[in-house]
Amino acid sequence: MSNIENPNMEEVFAEGPRKDFVIEFHQGVNEQLLKEKQQERRKNLELSSENKVLNRRIAETEEKADHDALTGLLNREGFEKVLVEIRKTGRSGALLMIDIDKFKDMNDTYGHPIGDLVLKAVARRLQAMCRELDMVVRWGGEEFILFFPNTTAEEVLRKFTPEGQQGNAAINIKFKRSDSNMPTPEIEISFSGGVTDLGVDEKLDDAMARVDKALYHVKETGRNRLEMTGKGPATP
């Protein structure tokens, strides 16, 4: 086969207009590729930024979902999540359930805005009485749960009752509201509660049943005190 039929491409494009065409063609291709890469990079950056915003919003939503909107305390769902992680470390602890005495009467007498302020004041008071590693939870309504890692029920009882075991609760609050647009009562807030040990391998529902029963007994026999209840049989 002759060189005319099968020319050497390097010789054909070595000089002249064809060489200029090839150079210009390659420059155009390179510029187009560079532009496409830049566009893809910008798109990826935008997606990355959107993902960061989305992930942050999801995290914020999850955090809000785990906290009580009124008091800022952990709610039931948030407590159960955190407790699972704590118990993975092998920590036992003490569980305290308290209930604000005659809270319904406060709402009926002074209105729900005062009731909300009372709940906020109680939340602050409980947090002030606890260590950083303790958990304070708004369980629902006027009920609060406190969990004390590496602590016994007896130690909690001594901390929260001035006379020790079965004594009057030491969480009492005098609440004042000075606002010309609302009633200005001085409210004595007292609490009833039950406290028990929570073992690492024990079901939370079992411990909750015990403190709930103790709380109910306190309500039925005078209020304004805490009652310790023993741990039930070990979970198999």
The model's pLDDT over 68-109, given as tens digits with 9 standing for 90+, comes to 999 999 999 999 988 888 888 888 899 999 999 999 998 898
Q: What is the C-alpha separation between 199 and 99, in angstroms, rounded?
A: 23
Q: Which residues contact 69 (CB under 8 A, 6 or more apart)?
A: none
Burial of 219 (0-12, 13-18, 19+ CB in 10 A): middle
Would you state the pLDDT for residue 89? Answer: 82
Contact 191, 171 (CB under 8 A): yes
Active site residues: 142
Residue 233 lies inside a defined structural domain of this protein: no
Domains: count for the chain: 2
Residue 234: alpha-carbon gap to chain centroid: 29
Burial of 3 (0-12, 13-18, 19+ CB in 10 A): exposed
Q: What's the pTM?
A: 0.68
Residue 98 lies inside a defined structural domain of this protein: yes
Residue 144 lies inside a defined structural domain of this protein: yes
Residue 22 lies inside a defined structural domain of this protein: yes
Would you state the pLDDT for residue 215? Answer: 94
State yes or no: pLDDT of 67 exceeds 60: yes
Do residues 94 and 178 share a domain? yes
Do residues 52 and 84 share a domain? no
CATH number of the domain to which 124 belongs? 3.30.70.270
Q: Give me the domain span that covers residue 44.
A: 1-65
Dihedral sign computed on CA atoms, order 152, 157, 162, 165: negative
The model's pLDDT over 179-207, given as tens digits with 9 standing for 90+, comes to 445 555 677 788 899 999 998 889 999 99
Do residues 209 and 116 share a domain? yes
